[in-house]
Amino acid sequence: MNEQHEQLNSFPREEIRSAIHLGITQAEKQMNEKTNRTPIKKISIRKRKILYAICSVLTAFGILVVSSYYSPALASSLSQLPIIGSIFGNSDLNGLRQAHKKGLIREIGETQTVNGISVTLNEILYDQNNITIGLFIESNKELEEYYFGAGMDFTINGKSPAGATGSYGEENLSTTIRTAIQEINVTEDMPEKFELGLTLHGKNGETWYFSTPVKKIDSIQKFPTPQAQTVGGLKLTITEISLSDTGLSIAYESSEKETDFDLSRGGLIDFLVVDQNGNKITGHSGGAAGELVKDKIVFKSNKQFDPLDSNVTELTITPYLVIPSGGGGVEIDENGKEKELEYKEPSIQPLKFDSFKVKIPQ
């Protein structure tokens, strides 16, 4: 069931309704004039011990955010709401829509205003090892692109996790109003519930800090994992396969005897997932956290896929390498300093892994 945060009692309802109305008006005007919407900003993020970032034009690096854009249905529903509509419920991502529909998200609605910029922590979803955060941002002046950098820093029970991947993306409703979705994928064991600390930094030195309890959703199924396989010197271990109402998750760990991240392949692993009828299950995130351990590079990742239809009885999963043809990334060290990572043309050849099957109980 949706949880309603106590701070909703003091939520600035009229101001937000005005902001939403302005955003819809702006979007409708753009639709009528047949202009293109503002491009979505996608920034990959790296936290503590994450030594390398990979971004590919062939696969999504982290979550692709396309939320809260204009449609007649959305305009109608928002006009009747006293507060912000669900950012997740209006997302293009099936898993987030399902989470909203089934009441799995935690609604918060806490707003902080600094230097004329109001940031609302709208909602949070915690499924498998994935934390997804929805933000509503309103400013009394025009905000430039990348004003909030790579998104929010975070802590779990006051501590930064050893490894995590994710992404941050924004959708502009107007020059002063935008929504944002941040995905955080922690690659170490996570508690069922914890206190999540979130800090957002603005370009002019502003800081917005939120702290809220979160709890993992119920009814997560876990399946037996296949034995590890080694191909071309790259060892792949599937550490967990799990399924919930929000989607399928495949966690893996890889290792290979290599010290050059430009030549390593573990962070390029992805999975082709098809059901018993050959229908492909859409995947959404491709982040991987890697570190050098003695003379080996070890990567960990948790790949996310769409929720399964009720008629799916079996999955065939095939690991493969996604060799990037372009990209780049952002690395963030333990002090929060960002470093742009340039794309380097790889000299990596494809590998052929064995497929395996997973039975889905009916």
**Adjacent-strand bridge partners of 202:** none
pLDDT in the model for residue 148: 93
Q: Kindly state the tokens that stand for 60.
A: 């999504």
Asked whether the beta carbons of 125 and 213 are under 8 A apart, the reply is no
Tell me, what amino acid is at 140?
N
Q: What residues have CB less than 8 Å from 3, skipping those under 6 apart?
A: 106, 107
Model-wide pTM > 0.95: no
Dihedral of alpha carbons 30, 35, 38, 40, sign: positive
DSSP symbol at 174? S
pLDDT in the model for residue 284: 82
Starting at the edge strand found earlier in the chain, the sheet holding 153-156 runs 153-156, 193-201, 207-215
DSSP E strands, 140-280: 153-156, 164-172, 177-186, 193-201, 207-215, 221-223, 229-231, 234-244, 247-257, 269-275
Asked whether the beta carbons of 348 and 268 are under 8 A apart, the reply is yes
pLDDT in the model for residue 332: 60
Burial 182-221 (b: 16+ CB within 10 A, else e): bbbbbbeebeeebebbbebbbeeebebebebebebbeeee
CA proximity to 303, closest of 353, 236, 250: 250
**Domains annotated on the chain, with CATH:** 3-215 (2.60.40.1630), 221-326+345-359 (2.60.40.1640)
Tell me, what amino acid is at 170?
E
Q: Is 352 exposed, middle or buried (0-12, 13-18, 19+ CB in 10 A)?
A: exposed
Cα 354 from Cα 229, distance rounded (Å): 8
pLDDT in the model for residue 125: 95
CB half-sphere exposure, 177, CA atoms < 13 A:
19
Q: Is 157 exposed, middle or buried (0-12, 13-18, 19+ CB in 10 A)?
A: exposed
- Kindly write down the DSSP assignment for every residue of 46-82, as one continuous string: EESS-------SSS-SSPPP-BS---HHHHHHHHT-S
Asked whether the beta carbons of 360 and 312 are under 8 A apart, the reply is yes
Asked whether the beta carbons of 67 and 179 are under 8 A apart, the reply is yes
Distinct helix (H) and strand (E) counts, the chain: 3, 21
pLDDT in tens, the chain (362 residues): 444 344 444 444 444 444 444 444 444 444 444 333 333 333 333 333 333 333 332 222 332 233 333 344 434 333 333 345 689 988 888 899 999 999 999 999 999 999 999 999 999 999 987 899 999 999 999 998 889 998 999 999 999 887 788 888 999 888 899 999 999 988 778 899 999 999 999 999 999 999 999 999 998 999 999 889 999 999 999 999 999 999 999 999 999 999 988 888 999 999 999 999 999 999 986 678 888 998 999 999 989 999 999 999 999 999 999 887 765 556 666 666 777 766 555 578 889 999 999 999 87
Tell me, what amino acid is at 102?
K
Q: Kindly state the tokens that stand for 190.
A: 């996570």
Helix (H) or strand (E) holding 29, with range, is: helix 13-32
Cα 9 from Cα 24, distance rounded (Å): 25
Cα 47 from Cα 341, distance rounded (Å): 14
